[in-house]
Amino acid sequence: MLHLYITDYFIWGLVLLVALYGVQVYRYAHWRQPWGRVFKRHTAAIAAVVLGMYALIGLSDSVHWSVENEQGQQSEALSLLDYAMTPMRTQVEKSYSAPFSIYGLSREMRIDEQGQTERALPRLDHAGSHLPTAQQRSQDIRRKTLVGLAMGAAIAFLSLSLLALLLARGCPVGTWRRLKAWLLQHTPARSAAVTYVLCLTILTTAYYLGQYYHVWGTDKVGYDVFYIAMKSVRTGLVIGTLTTVVMLPLALALGMMAGYFRGWVDDVVQYIYTTLNAIPGVLLIAAAVLMLNVYMHNHAESFQSLAARADWRLLFICLILGMTSWTSLCRLLRAETLKLRESDYVVAAKTFGVSTPMILFRHLMPNVMHIVLITVVIDFSGLVLAEAVLAYVEIGVDPTMHSWGNMINSARLELARDPIVWWSLTASLIAMFVLVLCANLFADAVRDAFDPRLKDEQGGQNTSGSESSPQSLEAQS
């Protein structure tokens, strides 16, 4: 039975919005053109593919359903990703184990065949349990890696060929020409295609090996780190996207109204955002989350399950983070509307007697949308990073929810152990770094392509004042 969490609805709503926007972009040349400029950059093309991979993982983790067990009770809701990664999800060890290891990390007392006790590293319950002897491990890993690589490459090439076939509408010559262009000519398309093949190969190999080993080790309570890192993708994406999107209507409405009506409306809006801005972001979030803690502590019964409660908390944190970040967008929108309201087409619309809401909605909003787009894309990376900081301060997402911040937070003392436990920390940092790096590179391209101030300047430099804003929450801490 389909069992969607509250953020799932928001995510699919967002997907719908993006799809609608995509249709719009496809239909109008003046939207297509800047996007064409974005994808002319190699870095942007590569980043887009990687971001797409993350999005796929996140989306597959956003379809939840629950199954009825024998007692007729609803089980915990599992997502598509959970089902796909069943072996990694269910093969839980007792405690730490290193990547690809088939032994635990700490010695245990055990009784050998002669009845004597000895201290030895225990064999793991699940990793490498198909091996008859421990000596065959490295050979088995090598063989399985090769199989995984081959499988991944095959899937990647097949899907690319299929795409080419579809685009060429079945014509073999066109298909061949497209494939050749994607793989041999030095174009952004080739960068994207190569990235796609690489990403898919790596993921497939890790997935295939993950059935037999813990590719990235296990954490303190024995969970597979690779699985947790994959589950954290959704949390990161939700924080990065929903935060700006949930506050968009407010920022748009207030910013445009302040710029258009001026006078006392402007004063009130300016007062609101100056006041909110004056509170240091982390502290406002801290205050709000502290109060949320108190509320949830005293109203525990109004949440169906722990997971549902964690999900509400995630949504609430998005709202609060949005509260601290919408002010800069509001200010930008206000300034732009102030400028646009004097432009000829708005004056013309006024003289034709177009009503004020219509002017705002039909004439001004489409012309400030590029600012919204740039802000959403730029803020994304800062928010993903902020999540980790918030988790450290213990005002982030629920501790039971998988997130990179929670991973780092619970792993930060592991480096002091002997032997060093580095995998949990590195897994979350690498997963986060790749996502944020790609988001930053993509955001740069989007900003350069959409910012009209840049068109008459040479060399793709930017003059955008919002440069310092995305990192602000991270920088403050």
Partner 1 sequence: MIEYILRRGLYALPILLGVNIITFLLFFSINSPDDMARIYLGDRHITQEQVESWKEQRGYNKPLFINFEAEGTETLTDTIFFNKSLSLFWFEFGQSESGRDIGADIQQRMWPSLAIALPTLILGLMVNITFALLMAFFRGRYVDYWGVILCVAIMSISSLFYIIGGQFLFGKMLSLVPISGYSPDGNSLKFLVLPVLIGVFSGIGAGSRWYRTIFLEEMGKEYVRTARSKGLSEARVLFKHVLRNGLIPILTGVVVVLPMLFMGSLLVESFFGIPGLGSYTIEAIQSQDFAIVRAMVFLGAVLYIIGLLLTDISYTLVDPRVRLN
Residues that bind partner 1 (CB under 8 A): 43, 271-272, 274-280, 282-284, 286-288, 290-291, 293-295, 297-298, 381, 385, 388-389, 392-395, 408, 412, 415-416, 425, 429, 432-433, 436-437, 439-441, 444, 457, 459, 461-464, 467-468, 471, 474-477
Minimum separation from the CB atom of position 461 to partner 1 (A): 5
Minimum separation from the CB atom of position 82 to partner 1 (A): 26
Picking from 372, 368, 379, 450, the residue whose alpha carbon sits closest to that of residue 38 is 450
Tokens of 386: 């902020």
Nearer to partner 1, 113 or 456 (CB): 456
Minimum separation from the CB atom of position 308 to partner 1 (A): 20
Name the amino acid, one letter, at 66.
S
Nearer to partner 1, 142 or 412 (CB): 412
Nearer to partner 1, 166 or 300 (CB): 300
Minimum separation from the CB atom of position 159 to partner 1 (A): 28
CA distances from 72 to 1, 67, 75 (A): 13, 9, 9
- Report which secondary-structure segment, H or E, holds 82: helix 80-84
Minimum separation from the CB atom of position 288 to partner 1 (A): 6
Nearer to partner 1, 148 or 217 (CB): 217
Nearer to partner 1, 74 or 471 (CB): 471
How big is the chain by its Cα radius of gyration, in Å? 26
Minimum separation from the CB atom of position 371 to partner 1 (A): 18
Nearer to partner 1, 196 or 404 (CB): 404
Cα separation of 408 and 229, whole Å?
11
CA distances from 16 to 25, 256, 265 (A): 14, 25, 33
Minimum separation from the CB atom of position 226 to partner 1 (A): 19
> Partners of 65 in the beta sheet?
2, 78
Q: What is the DSSP annotation of 314-363? A: HHHHHHHHHHHHHHHHHHHHHHHHHHHTTSHHHHHHHHTT--HHHIIIII
Minimum separation from the CB atom of position 320 to partner 1 (A): 10
Minimum separation from the CB atom of position 297 to partner 1 (A): 5
Nearer to partner 1, 32 or 299 (CB): 299
Count of CB atoms situated within 10 Å of the CB of 134: 11
Unique residue bearing structure tokens 């997130």: 403
**Is omega for the bond preceding 419 within 30 degrees of 0, making it cis?**
yes
Nearer to partner 1, 211 or 410 (CB): 410
Minimum separation from the CB atom of position 404 to partner 1 (A): 8
Cα separation of 272 and 262, whole Å?
15
Judge residue 305's burial from the number of C-beta atoms within 10 Å of its C-beta, 0-12 exposed, 13-18 middle, 19 or more buried: middle
- Report which secondary-structure segment, H or E, holds 117: strand 117-120
Cα separation of 318 and 455, whole Å?
34
Nearer to partner 1, 195 or 204 (CB): 195
Nearer to partner 1, 41 or 341 (CB): 41
Neighbouring residues of 274: CB distance < 8 A, sequence distance ≥ 6: none
User: Cα-Cα-Cα-Cα dihedral of 338, 343, 345, 348, to 10°?
Assistant: 100
Minimum separation from the CB atom of position 277 to partner 1 (A): 7
Nearer to partner 1, 304 or 464 (CB): 464
Tokens of 242: 């929903």
Cα separation of 443 and 472, whole Å?
16
Unique residue bearing structure tokens 């200010």: 331
For the stretch 80-117, what's the b/e string if a residue is b when 16 or more beta carbons lie within 10 angstroms of its beta carbon? ebbeebeebbebebeebbbbbbbbbbeeeeeeeeeeee
> Partners of 123 in the beta sheet?
103
Unique residue bearing structure tokens 């996007």: 35
Nearer to partner 1, 67 or 279 (CB): 279
Minimum separation from the CB atom of position 408 to partner 1 (A): 5
